[in-house]
């Protein structure tokens, strides 16, 4: 496919201007088209206002703002789009108008230009039906605010060229979006189950099963969200919810039809009174009714989609997390609530509308759990890839993820047709560490054995990688922190990019690196630098990591990660530099915060950081490095495991790990 270097956006309204903003912020020139200069001026105003907010948050400065806006060209002349490699349509929702626009665009743009629609109401196949080249038409459904919200649903029509779909998946991933592939079906994926969630809340209000505030509060509690359905409708526009429900009802039936109270709210042109807590129908089962109806409506529809092949369970969950900011998607929530309970909830809601129970819920209740594939494999030529498909989660290494990683390692190790394995994380992180909530839950339950078992299993998995007869690579195109860096250290080689950021933050959150960090690091780059990195927790880029010997090469990230297939490195640690005298002196550091090493001239910044670390964790980490330096690797790794319960039993560990969740700066007491 021809590279996408210039983007056209048709429609300078709220959505179109935000789509244009995303691209210009990522460095791409954009041609923004609308019918009148006044519309364009308003759209540019939206973009400037959003960028000024970013400037106030010190994400960009004034020069950066003007540089970003300098990539935007506004026009009322369709002929200007002849330069575009991708044109995204974001005009108002009228099928005939959209079809006419695409027919005109077809005559203007180049033969290789991709034509995309941001429609939320119409099938892509219907938009492309009368075109001469329907194979280049595709849906790219954005979510508000399109410049900030990561999710993009990619929807191929009946005749869309598969190469275009693959190209757009790579394109959006490269430019920091989270694409999911969705079948051309009413509501696509996320709106299909989200709109019924909103509408069911309105029905509950209408039927007297709680006040607005009560229903919102129960929804927040059960789904773990920050805003309930009524608050969300106020934020995005109450009419949007009604029109979305009406559109789905026209294609999928009366279950989706907007509640009468929702229609009346739109007629009155009013937001919901989210402060209203007037008690209604105060039966003791009121809360359970709200839970049953909201879960039954949304998870039932999500299960319908999986049955219909609209989207797979993993992508549906990713869409909910990335697009709706739900902490867990519908199928992960199903696992938490229990498949039997969810089956009963869905059945109670669906039976009232004569809807059949989705088959996948029947199977889940019978013990055939739906697969959430967070770690997957793909083979390209003689290279096997292990892909972490959790782009929205910075700390994914929990029990289930580690089990899936283990299966993937076994699968690729058993293949005779590959001779290398490359581990890759989608999103802005390779892997940014272990699942903090897992640790806290186990500590709150007093179950330190669970942490011990998980870490022992993690060691076995990493040892498999280290002992593989394939050549193993970690492709560190993003944040590589804590457990993620320890996973990378188990590989034969580490590949850095301009996006690489490496660190061991553990001693700053009350623990020590427990998946081999104190042992593999010192063996790779020496005791002094290992101690320096683990004690300071400093973040280093690929250039610094190359000089330290942590990464073996630094490359420009390819547009498609599959281009790494067949990648080879001539020799390890080619960029490693000699230790400076200051670094070498750090080999003697024993974790004592009164050490004279911390008073060295020129070391003030690092010393200040070290003195903020958890004293017990710091001392244990340094001791582990010292005790393990003369042992074989297996014995050194066992030292880490032997100290786990001691470190996780400390008050400092609870304080430090909790600080990740609360966002508060930890204060350690050395206990």
List pLDDT tens digits, range 111-156: 999 999 999 889 999 999 999 999 999 999 999 899 999 999 999 9
Element (H, E) at 194: helix 190-206
Query: Residue 45, Cβ neighbours under 10 Å: how many?
Result: 12
The two tokens of residue 51 are 């960028």
CB-count burial class (<10 Å; 0-12, 13-18, 19+) for 612 = middle
Catalytic residue list contains 583 = no
- Taking Cα atoms as reference points, which of 376, 377, 412, 382 lies closest to residue 566? 382
DSSP summary character for residue 565: T
Domain check: are 168 and 220 in the same one? no
Interatomic CA distance for residues 473 and 479, integer angstroms: 16
- Taking Cα atoms as reference points, which of 42, 50, 41 lies closest to residue 21? 50
DSSP summary character for residue 562: G
DSSP summary character for residue 34: -
**N-to-C CA span, the chain:** 59
| CATH code: domain of residue 531 | 3.90.226.10
Q: How many domains does one find in the chain?
A: 3
Interatomic CA distance for residues 508 and 393, integer angstroms: 20
Q: Which of 344, 365, 386 is the last residue of a domain?
A: 365
pTM: 0.92
Q: What percent of the chain has pLDDT over 90?
A: 87
The answer to whether 129 touches 158, Cβ cutoff 8 Å, is: no
Q: Looking at the domain assignment, is residue 224 inside a domain?
A: yes
DSSP summary character for residue 570: S
Domain check: are 341 and 382 in the same one? no
Is the pLDDT score of 492 beyond 60? yes
Q: Please give the distance of CA 640 from its chain centroid, rounded to a whole number.
A: 30
How would residue 283 be classed by pLDDT, with cut points 50, 70 and 90? low
pLDDT digits (tens, 9 = 90+) for 295-321: 999 999 999 999 999 999 999 999 999
Domain check: are 171 and 204 in the same one? no
Domain check: are 30 and 90 in the same one? yes
Q: Looking at the domain assignment, is residue 667 inside a domain?
A: no
Is the pLDDT score of 59 beyond 60? yes
Catalytic residue list contains 275 = no
How would residue 322 be classed by pLDDT, with cut points 50, 70 and 90? very high
Domain check: are 638 and 608 in the same one? yes
Q: Give the pLDDT of residue 601.
A: 78
Domain check: are 157 and 254 in the same one? no
The answer to whether 191 touches 241, Cβ cutoff 8 Å, is: no
The two tokens of residue 207 are 């039927």
Q: Looking at the domain assignment, is residue 445 inside a domain?
A: yes
Q: Which domain holds residue 107?
A: 7-181
Instruction: Identify whether 145 is preceded by a cis peptide bond (ω within 30 of 0).
Output: yes
Interatomic CA distance for residues 503 and 552, integer angstroms: 16
Q: Which of 152, 181, 210 is the last residue of a domain?
A: 181
Is the pLDDT score of 399 beyond 90? yes
Domain check: are 407 and 545 in the same one? yes
Domain check: are 236 and 119 in the same one? no
Q: Which of 296, 330, 365 is the last residue of a domain?
A: 365
Q: Where are the beta strands (DSSP E) in 106-212?
A: 114-117, 137-142, 151-156, 178-181
Q: Looking at the domain assignment, is residue 370 inside a domain?
A: no
Q: Looking at the domain assignment, is residue 671 inside a domain?
A: no
Domain check: are 267 and 158 in the same one? no
Instruction: Spot the catalytic one: 153, 486, 579, 640.
Output: 486
Domain check: are 52 and 162 in the same one? yes
Q: Looking at the domain assignment, is residue 361 inside a domain?
A: yes
Instruction: Spot the catalytic one: 506, 563, 583, 604.
Output: 506
Average the pLDDT over 442-467 and give the result.
97
Average the pLDDT over 438-463 and give the result.
96
Q: Give the pLDDT of residue 280.
A: 58
Q: Give the pLDDT of residue 659.
A: 95
> Helices (DSSP H) in 253-382: which residue ranges?
260-267, 286-308, 313-324, 330-337, 339-351, 359-365
């Amino acid at each position: 496919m021809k590279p996408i270097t210039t983007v056209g956006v048709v429609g300078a309204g709220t959505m179109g201007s935000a789509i244009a903003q995303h691209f210009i912020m990522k460095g791409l020139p954009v041609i923004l088209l609308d019918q009148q200069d006044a519309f364009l001026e308003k759209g540019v105003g939206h973009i400037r206002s959003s960028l000024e907010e970013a400037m106030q948050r010190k994400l960009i400065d004034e020069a950066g703002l003007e540089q970003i806006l300098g990539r935007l060209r506004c026009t009322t002349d369709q002929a200007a789009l002849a330069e575009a490699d991708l044109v995204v349509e974001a005009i108002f929702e009228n099928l005939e108008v959209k079809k006419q626009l695409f027919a005109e665009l077809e005559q203007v743009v180049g033969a290789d230009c991709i034509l995309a629609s941001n429609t939320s109401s119409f099938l892509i196949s219907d938009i492309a039906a009368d075109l001469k080249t329907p194979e280049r038409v595709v849906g790219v459904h954005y979510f508000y605010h399109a410049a900030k919200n990561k999710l993009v649903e990619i929807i191929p029509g009946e005749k869309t060229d598969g190469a275009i779909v693959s190209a757009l998946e790579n394109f959006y991933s490269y430019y920091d979006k989270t694409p999911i592939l969705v079948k051309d079906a009413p509501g696509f994926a996320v709106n299909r189950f989200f709109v019924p969630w909103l509408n069911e809340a309105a029905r509950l209000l209408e039927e007297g099963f709680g006040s607005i505030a009560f229903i919102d509060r129960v929804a927040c509690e059960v789904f773990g969200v920050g805003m309930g359905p009524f608050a969300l409708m106020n934020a995005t526009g109450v009419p949007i919810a009604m029109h979305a429900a009406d559109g789905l009802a026209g294609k999928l039936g009366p279950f989706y039809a907007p509640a009468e109270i929702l229609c009346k709210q739109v007629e009155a042109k009013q937001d919901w009174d989210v402060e209203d807590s007037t008690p209604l129908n105060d039966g003791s089962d009121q809360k359970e009714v709200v839970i049953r109806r909201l879960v039954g409506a949304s998870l039932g529809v999500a299960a319908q989609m999986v049955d219909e092949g609209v989207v797979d369970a993993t992508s549906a969950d990713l869409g909910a997390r990335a697009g709706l900011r739900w902490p867990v998607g519908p199928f992960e929530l199903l696992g938490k609530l229990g498949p039997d309970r969810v089956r009963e909830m869905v059945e109670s809601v669906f039976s009232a509308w004569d809807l059949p129970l989705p088959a996948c819920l029947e199977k889940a209740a019978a013990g055939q759990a739906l697969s959430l594939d967070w770690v997957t494999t793909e083979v390209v030529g003689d290279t096997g890839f292990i892909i972490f498909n959790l782009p929205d989660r910075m700390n994914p290494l929990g029990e289930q993820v580690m089990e899936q990683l283990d299966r993937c390692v076994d699968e690729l190790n058993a293949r005779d047709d590959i001779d290398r394995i490359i581990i890759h994380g989608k999103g802005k992180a390779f892997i940014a560490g272990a699942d903090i909530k897992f640790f806290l839950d186990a500590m709150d339950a007093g179950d330190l054995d669970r942490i011990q078992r998980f870490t022992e299993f993690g060691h076995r998995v990493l040892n498999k990688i280290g002992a593989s007869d394939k050549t193993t690579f970690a492709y560190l195109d993003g944040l590589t922190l804590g457990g993620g860096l320890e996973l990378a250290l188990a590989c034969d080689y580490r590949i850095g990019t301009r996006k690489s950021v490496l660190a061991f933050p553990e001693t700053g959150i009350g623990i020590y690196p427990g998946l081999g960090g104190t042992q593999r690091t010192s063996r790779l780059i020496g005791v002094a630098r290992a101690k320096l990195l683990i004690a300071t927790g400093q973040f280093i880029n690929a250039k610094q990591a190359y000089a330290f010997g942590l990464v073996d090469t630094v490359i420009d990230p390819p547009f498609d990660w599959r281009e790494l297939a067949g990648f080879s490195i001539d020799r390890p640690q080619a960029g490693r530099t000699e230790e400076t005298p200051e670094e070498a002196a750090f080999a003697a550091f024993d974790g004592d915060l009164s050490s004279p090493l911390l008073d060295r001239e020129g070391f003030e910044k690092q010393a200040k950081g070290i003195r903020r670390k958890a004293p017990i964790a710091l001392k244990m980490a340094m001791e582990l490095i010292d005790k393990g330096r003369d042992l074989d690797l297996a014995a050194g790794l066992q030292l880490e495991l032997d100290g786990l319960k001691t470190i996780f039993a400390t008050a400092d560990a609870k304080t430090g790990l909790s600080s990740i969740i609360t966002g508060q700066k930890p204060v350690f007491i050395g206990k």
